Structure 1
Amino acid sequence: MNNTTICPRFEKGMQILSKRWTGLIVHQLLNGPQRFCRIEAAFPISGRILSERLKDLEQEGIVKRDVYPETPVRIEYSLTEKGLALAPVINEIQQWSSDWIKSVEEES
């Protein structure tokens, strides 16, 4: 049997992006900075899970959290340069999905 090793960086990248909802959150933020409630409204996701994913992405340097000292406090999430670098990957997945994945209506 042929033993192949996966590049540790590739493996780490796949671990980050394969967490549930992560790709969709990045896709949503490609539209520009957004508040938590707008991101939450885009998906059937609980606030707790969204908060966890945003914190994970912030720790990885993919998402930036900006707090504006207004009343009430305004918090916006946006992609960093590292996060914006994922745009070609997300766009290719979107194109691949359009070409190869059947929609719910097509499956019926």
Structure 2
Amino acid sequence: MTVARHYIMHAKEGMDATLETALRAIADAVRPLPGCEGVEMLRDLGNERRFVLIERWADVDAHKAAGAMLDKGLIAPMMAALDGPPDGAYLDYLIR
């Protein structure tokens, strides 16, 4: 059963390009991890500081296991660019 893990993030003022770069690096690192079925990154057309990252996983356990494999050095640049913690959730696909 494929699940989605989504994150909604807001960049600090003037840090949207930095956040975008950090998210691209994270997406590139996540894609080859076992159980990952894809990654999408979107930016809000009405708010250039708002990003959505959607990861598709074989299941929740695959996502959690992959977290232990991810280079933690990739997280620091993202966290430095964020204006508050990301909002995240696991989602079931109803239509695809």
| TM-score range for the pair, normalised by the shorter chain length | 0.3 to 0.5
| Structure with the larger strand share | 2
**Which structure ranks higher in relative contact order (CA pairs < 8 Å, sequence separation ≥ 6)?**
2
User: Greater helix share, 1 or 2?
Assistant: 1
Report the TM-score when normalising by structure 1. 0.30
TM-score under structure 2 length normalisation: 0.32
* Structure having the higher Rg: 1
